[in-house]
Structures are given as structure tokens and as C-alpha cells.
Amino acid sequence: MKRVILTSSSGVGLAHADRADMVVPFIFRFVSGPLPSAEHLNGYLGGRALRIFEEIIWSDCVRQLPYVQRLDREGALLWFCETYGVELIELWFDPEPNSQLQLIWILDYLRSEPSIASSLRLRRVDFDLRGADPAELRHRDVRELDIKKAISRSRAWPGRPTARRRPSSAPGCSTGRSANCLS
């Protein structure tokens, strides 16, 4: 079975834990600094063919696999998964605020692809993924959550990529970029 893990930059250690054939980290900062545009985010997963600017894409952050042709790494992530027979796509995002915002974004992105719903698994990472030892991660039991509930929650999130740029009126949220501003 071919398995892919989608994770935040906190989960790059999973690449050394042998839990999947490929680990794809997301490198965006949603908590502080300028927010990436929706086009930039979609381009990250869409591959080089859809990009206007020379920006980084998902495969730039993934180690080379012996059975993957170099040109195929330039395509969209979901096309790649279908082409190479990926049967399981796991989502590993730790509780850190930026990782949770990345998870909401990827769930929103994936919900538009109902054909992959049966291959998705959401893992409940209730520990600091960045500080975890890859040897420990190799054998650590991480509970699976109901992906359908998570996707429906991402639809209900008022701060989806197009709306999240508005400042919040919550106390202490003058920029609208703090994870505490999600209420």
C-alpha cells in the first residue's frame, strides 16, 4: 500500500520515521506575517503547470523517491497520488496554532475532491510533532479521527482562505492573524 502523509513544517521528522512512502510538509505561515494568497496556496498543490511565478510547490519539499519520474513531481499533488496509486493519504497536524490553520486550509482544499475522500485519514496528533524523535514516531500510536466531521467543520469555519483576511473584532486581534481570532 502506498501511503502519503500531509503535515505542517513541524512534521518533517515523519519523513525519517518510515510511516509513509512520502511526507509532504506545508510551509505557510498563517499566524503571523503576510498571508499567502488563495492562488499561491492552490498553486502550491497544483504543480508547476498552474503557476505564474516561480514559487515553491509541494514536491520541492519532498525527498526524491526511486520509483517517481522527475517530471511527475512537477504535477499537482492529487494527480500525483492518483497516478502513482497512493491508497492512503494521512493528515498529521500538531496542536500548534499555525499547524491547525494549515489543517483547516488543506481540509477546505480537499473537500473539493470527493474522489479521494475514501483514501483520507485524519490523525489526532496531541503532542509536539516538531520535537518528536523519528524513532519514537515510527512506533507511536496516533488515533484516527472522523474525516467527514473535520471536513464539514472546515466548511463552517468563517475564516476560510478568502474571508480570513478581514480583521477580527475579538479583543487583542488588531491584525486578524492570531489563532485567538478564530472565535
Per-residue pLDDT tens digits for 4-28: 999 998 898 898 898 998 999 998 8
Tell whether the model's pLDDT for residue 71 goes beyond 50: yes
User: Checking phi first, is residue 76 left (phi over 0); if not, alpha (psi -120 to 50) or beta?
Assistant: beta
Handedness of CA 173, 179, 182, 183 (dihedral sign): negative
Quote the cell numbers at residue 169.
473584532
* CB-CB contact of 17 with 137 (8 Å): yes
| Average model confidence (pLDDT) across the chain | 78
Per-residue pLDDT tens digits for 108-156: 888 778 788 889 999 999 999 998 998 899 999 999 988 876 666 655 5
The closest alpha carbon to 28, from 41, 13, 46, belongs to 41
Tell me the one-letter amino acid at 183: S
The closest alpha carbon to 182, from 157, 153, 155, belongs to 157
Tell whether the model's pLDDT for residue 39 goes beyond 60: yes
- At residue 93, the pLDDT reads 95
pTM: 0.76
